[in-house]
């Protein structure tokens, strides 16, 4: 196996690999990246047994076909420190030694044989769904803030993707909740058959966000009963889905909240961050005293003091006192596209519906907290 490739081309692919490979080193082969030369292409493959990353590089000079696996982290670290646009000369000297030469540098990397590298099937019988790259990334970003980190309820450790319909239009909808807050965002798609609801795991969501943020290539999605494939240009990301039933989230979405609070999104975020600065615990509760034309925000920490600030607002009811986890509020407000944040309230203990006037296909629900 012998080939020459540009440093920047290989480095970009390896940067995506870093989010996939197994870091705990339980199986050494899972810390490696598979490099395979065949049919005038260099294939890059990495997996942790739950996610498979596959990329093809055609801009490569192949001197001798073959394959090997080597440490993904070490190869990535070396390439980061080599000058941009340099030629990388690879030569597999033996089954366990890969030579890399570039400019005046010379490296010999340890390898493991490809026989031990997990194989994967890339065949899906379901219909391909074409998705707008930027809009799907927006859906993921808006919903992932509410993914639960509680592994005891594994079915909440991802985004629930399912088809919905409204006003004769078809949507792919993503929902996530950690039982304290809920995020929902929808993307209009062509009518499709054969797509079953699934839960996309947290790690896959974050890996997808990294990929989509770096490319504008066409995005397609295919799903089977227990796995899903995303194709983005030459890149394929295949993932297991979470085995579990997502709760009926519509039951917790308020429909009768008749008190409306409107505040500047930017002012609201900045004010929360300022008053919350008195506490080292970013999950400290922030108290809102809501009046007709302003909101008084305050954080009172028994260990470090208190902070208070008043900002302009519009409120359609009498005074109301309500408290929230400050981090949850900031996370949601940061995803709102409109200059104003619209909160629909009922009382000081019921769930609050937060709408984005500039994105009618997204909404958030947040539970008040007692402080």
Q: What is the per-residue pLDDT across 178-203, written as a single tens digit (0 to 9) for each?
A: 999 999 999 999 888 778 899 999 99
Q: Are 307 and 277 in contact (CB under 8 A)?
A: yes
Q: What pLDDT is stored for residue 298 in this prediction? A: 95
Query: 266: which 2 tokens?
Result: 């930017």
In a domain? residue 196: yes
49 closest CA partner among 26, 72, 66, 69:
26
Pair 104, 215 in one domain? no
Is there a domain that residue 371 lies in?
A: no
Q: Is the pLDDT of residue 371 over 80?
A: no
- If phi > 0 it is left, if psi is from -120 to 50 it is alpha, else beta; for residue 66 that is left
- pLDDT, residue 11, reads 97
Give me the residue label for tokens 């646009």.
Answer: 85
Query: Over 70: is that where the pLDDT of 30 sits?
Result: yes
Q: Give yes or no: residues 133 and 246 share one domain.
A: yes
The answer to whether residue 158 sits within a structural domain is yes
Q: Are residues 204 and 163 in the same domain?
A: yes
Per the structure, how many domains does the chain have? 3
Per-residue confidence (pLDDT) for residue 282, from 0 to 100: 64
Specify whether 265 is located in the same domain as 242. no
Q: End of a domain among 250, 274, 292? A: 250
**Does residue 122 lie in a domain region?**
no
Roughly how many angstroms between the first and final C-alpha of the chain, as a whole number? 65
Q: CA 278 to CA 273: how far, in whole Å?
A: 9
- The distance of Cα 264 from the centroid of its chain, to the nearest Å, equals 27
Residue 145 covered by a domain: yes
285 and 340 fall within a common domain: yes
Mean pLDDT on 118-122: 82
Q: Cα separation of 172 and 46, whole Å? A: 28
- The mean pLDDT of 117-131, rounded to a whole number, is 84
The predicted-structure confidence for 238-263, as pLDDT tens digits, reads as follows 999 999 999 999 999 999 999 999 99
CB 101 within 8 A of CB 7: no
Q: How far apart are the C-alpha atoms of 286 and 264, rounded to whole Å?
A: 17
Q: Is the pLDDT of residue 303 over 90?
A: no
Say if 264 falls within a structural domain: yes
Query: What whole-number distance in Å separates Cα of residue 185 and Cα of residue 312?
Result: 28
Do 201 and 104 share a structural domain?
A: no
Question: Mean pLDDT across the stretch 38-52?
Answer: 95
Residues listed for the chain = 371
In a domain, 124, yes or no: no
Statement to judge: residues 234 and 134 lie in one domain: yes
Mean pLDDT for 77-84 is 95
Asked if residue 126 has pLDDT above 90, the reply is no
pLDDT digits (tens, 9 = 90+) for 340-358: 999 999 999 999 999 999 9
Report how far residue 182's alpha carbon sits from residue 176's, in angstroms, rounded to the nearest whole number.
6
- Whether residue 219 sits in one domain with residue 157: yes
Q: What is the CATH number of the domain that holds 185?
A: 3.10.150.10
Domain range enclosing 43: 2-116
pLDDT band at 40 (very low <50, low <70, confident <90, very high): very high
Residue 297 predicted with pLDDT over 80:
yes
| Same-domain pairing of 200 and 211 | yes
pTM of the model: 0.93
Mark whether 207 and 263 lie in a shared domain.
no
What is the average per-residue pLDDT within 111-135? 88
Q: What is the mean pLDDT of residues 55-82?
A: 96
What contacts 151, CB < 8 A, 6 or more positions away? 157
Of 203, 231, 250, which residue sits at a domain end?
250
Do 181 and 87 belong together in one domain? no
Task: Output the average pLDDT for the chain.
Answer: 93
Is the pLDDT at 370 greater than 90, yes or no?
no
- Res. 35: pLDDT tops 80: yes
Of the three residues 199, 224, 250, the one that is the final residue of a domain is 250
Exposure on the CB side of residue 358, measured as CA atoms within 13 A: 9
Look at phi and psi of residue 116 and say left if phi exceeds 0, alpha if psi is from -120 to 50, else beta: alpha
Residue 155 and residue 147 in contact, taking contact as beta carbons nearer than 8 Å: no
Least confident interval from 12-21, 55-64, 115-124? 115-124
In a domain, 359, yes or no: yes
Shared domain for 335 and 224, answered yes or no, is no
């Amino acid at each position: 196996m012998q080939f020459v490739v540009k440093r920047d081309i290989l480095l970009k692919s390896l940067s995506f690999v870093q989010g996939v490979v197994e870091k705990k080193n339980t199986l050494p082969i899972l810390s490696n990246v598979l490099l395979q030369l065949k049919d005038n292409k260099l294939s890059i493959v990495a997996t942790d047994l739950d996610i498979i990353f596959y990329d093809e590089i055609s801009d490569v000079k192949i001197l001798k076909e073959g394959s090997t696996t080597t440490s993904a982290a070490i190869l990535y670290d070396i390439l980061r420190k080599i000058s941009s646009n340099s030629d990388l000369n690879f030569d597999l000297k033996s089954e366990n030694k890969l030579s890399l030469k570039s400019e005046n540098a010379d490296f010999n990397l340890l390898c493991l044989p490809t026989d031990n590298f997990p194989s994967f099937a890339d065949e899906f019988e379901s219909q391909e769904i074409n998705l707008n790259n930027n809009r799907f990334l927006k859906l993921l970003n808006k919903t992932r803030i509410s993914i639960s980190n509680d592994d005891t309820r594994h079915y909440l450790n991802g985004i629930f993707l399912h088809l919905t319909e409204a006003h004769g239009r078809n949507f792919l909808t993503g929902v996530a909740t950690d039982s304290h807050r809920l995020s929902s965002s929808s993307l209009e798609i062509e009518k499709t058959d054969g797509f079953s609801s699934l839960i996309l795991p947290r790690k896959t969501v974050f890996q997808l966000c990294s990929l989509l943020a770096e490319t504008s290539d066409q995005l397609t999605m295919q799903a089977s009963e227990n796995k899903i494939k995303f194709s983005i240009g030459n890149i394929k990301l295949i993932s297991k889905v979470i085995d579990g039933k997502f709760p009926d989230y519509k039951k917790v979405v308020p429909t009768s909240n008749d008190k409306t609070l409107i505040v500047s999104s930017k002012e609201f975020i900045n004010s929360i961050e300022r008053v919350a600065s008195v506490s080292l615990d970013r999950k400290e509760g922030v108290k809102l005293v809501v009046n007709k034309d302003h909101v008084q925000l305050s954080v009172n920490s028994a260990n470090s003091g208190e902070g208070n600030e008043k900002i302009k607002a519009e409120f359609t009811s009498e005074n109301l006192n309500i408290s929230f986890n400050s981090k949850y509020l900031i996370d949601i407000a940061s995803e709102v596209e409109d200059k104003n944040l619209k909160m629909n309230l009922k009382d000081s203990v019921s769930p609050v519906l937060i709408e984005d006037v500039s994105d009618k296909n997204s909404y958030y629900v947040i539970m008040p907290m007692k402080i």
